[in-house]
């Protein structure tokens, strides 16, 4: 299988490669040497420039990278060969360029070269050099397809005001909004909501829906709101039917992300042994047992009319640092052959077979 086109190939002398990868609530930075050995890895704050502002994002990145240099025994005045930035919020070329240019201007000794891309692209590059799909379901949600020829397609990633379907925030929001609808006699859940309402009140520390409003508006914290999802998962495993239903709805819409990307999957990718690799990232995937049935049932329905069936899929979870993918992207920017055993970076937790759509077998 041909490797995707990762961008311009620039020759530079080998020296440590750094990567910063970000989730919705925190970031991590890792420093690798030219032999692919990880020298140091550390965590830091949110670096989504849409949430914290461009200059603050740059400041946080520089502080984390310089901390990593210091821990590795390197001078902060020694530029890295390349800095791979695989960040949430980095989907647009214009803002990515602004992020890079700001780092180059404000922190000239940080790195000689940069690669700025979305966290979805970095996740794929952690598991494969030949492309695949990444399906993120953490605090928020997003899906990206990268084909072997470098072409891309995406679905979701628009944030909680527009989407985030199937994410922890979305599950929590479905629960809270449904409580309001039910108590207004506007719309009802399919199952009793007494247990769910108790969970909601306990999580937010409120006694009624009027007090809950402050957490939806003036005290709103996306990460805290999404934290309700963990309690709903616990209730689902304890047998609460409404909580089980909320997760089944999430499983359905996560499968719909895959279906939306199927028409754009390259034929070579469909021929991957074991199926198209789907890198599943985010805390909601820890509840695969609650998502599985609805996820598979939705895939069995196939895609929209005329768009073909869902091909074989291999659902993967990353076992190593998510920083590895952006490191590989940075190495490719240097045209430097950084060693990487991709198979050591993931495990397959589910195989979906295309024939499931017709014969119902798992």
Residue bearing the bigger pLDDT, 330 or 80? 80
Q: What is the pTM of this model?
A: 0.81
In this structure, what token pair is assigned to residue 217?
A: 């508006």
Enclosing H/E stretch for 177: helix 168-183
* Residues facing residue 77 across a β-bridge: none
pLDDT(8) > 50: no
Predicted confidence at residue 11, as pLDDT, reads: 36
Rounded Cα distance between 68 and 71, Å, is 5
What percentage of residues in the chain have a pLDDT greater than 70?
A: 89
What is the gyration radius of the CA atoms in the chain, in angstroms? 21
Rounded Cα distance between 347 and 143, Å, is 19
In this structure, what token pair is assigned to residue 87?
A: 């960040």
Predicted confidence at residue 305, as pLDDT, reads: 62
CB neighbour list of residue 240: distance below 8 Å, 6 or more residues apart = 195, 196
Span of 86-100, 210-224, 276-290 with lowest mean pLDDT: 86-100
- Cα(first)–Cα(last) distance of the chain, in Å? 28
pLDDT(225) > 50: yes
**Strand 152-156 versus strand 141-146 pairing type:** antiparallel
Residue bearing the bigger pLDDT, 15 or 201? 201
Predicted confidence at residue 358, as pLDDT, reads: 45
pLDDT(360) > 60: no
pLDDT(88) > 80: no
Q: Which of the four pLDDT bands, split at 50, 70 and 90, describes residue 5? A: very low
**Which candidate, 48, 124, 106, 94, places its Cα nearest to that of 280?**
124
Per the CB < 8 A criterion, the answer to whether 154 and 206 are in contact is: no
Rounded Cα distance between 140 and 91, Å, is 15
pLDDT(73) > 70: yes
| Segment 320-329, tens digit of pLDDT | 766 778 788 8
């Amino acid at each position: 299988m041909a490797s995707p086109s990762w961008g311009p190939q620039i020759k530079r002398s080998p020296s440590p490669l750094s990567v910063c990868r970000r989730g919705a609530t925190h970031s991590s930075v890792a420093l690798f040497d030219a032999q692919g050995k990880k020298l140091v890895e550390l965590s830091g704050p949110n670096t989504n420039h849409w949430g914290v502002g461009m200059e603050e994002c740059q400041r946080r990145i520089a502080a984390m990278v310089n901390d990593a240099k210091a821990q590795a025994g390197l001078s902060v005045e020694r530029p890295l060969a390349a800095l791979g930035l695989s960040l949430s919020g980095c989907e647009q070329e214009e803002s990515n360029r602004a992020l890079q240019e700001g780092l180059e201007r404000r922190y000239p000794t940080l790195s000689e070269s940069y690669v700025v891309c979305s966290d979805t692209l970095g996740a794929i590059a952690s598991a494969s050099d030949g492309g695949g799909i990444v399906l993120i379901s953490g605090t928020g949600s997003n899906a990206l397809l990268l084909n072997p020829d470098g072409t891309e397609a995406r679905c979701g990633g628009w944030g909680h005001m527009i989407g985030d379907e199937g994410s922890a925030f979305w599950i929590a929001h479905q629960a809270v909004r449904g409580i309001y609808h039910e108590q207004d006699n506007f719309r009802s859940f399919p199952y009793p909501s007494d247990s769910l309402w108790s969970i909601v009140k306990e999580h937010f520390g409120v006694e009624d829906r009027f007090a809950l409003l402050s957490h939806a508006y003036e005290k709103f914290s996306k990460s805290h709101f999404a934290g309700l999802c963990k309690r709903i998962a616990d209730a689902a495993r304890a047998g609460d039917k409404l909580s089980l239903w909320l997760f089944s709805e999430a499983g359905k819409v996560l499968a719909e992300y895959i279906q939306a990307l199927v028409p754009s999957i390259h034929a070579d990718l469909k021929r991957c042994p074991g199926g198209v690799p789907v890198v599943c990232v985010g805390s909601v995937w820890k509840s695969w047992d609650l998502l599985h049935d609805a996820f598979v049932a939705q895939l069995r329905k196939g895609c929209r009319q005329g768009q073909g069936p869902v091909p074989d899929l291999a659902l993967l979870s990353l076992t190593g640092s998510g920083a590895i993918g952006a490191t590989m992207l940075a190495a490719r920017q240097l045209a430097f052959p950084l060693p990487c055993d991709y198979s050591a970076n993931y495990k397959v937790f589910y195989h979906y077979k295309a024939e499931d759509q017709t014969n119902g077998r798992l």
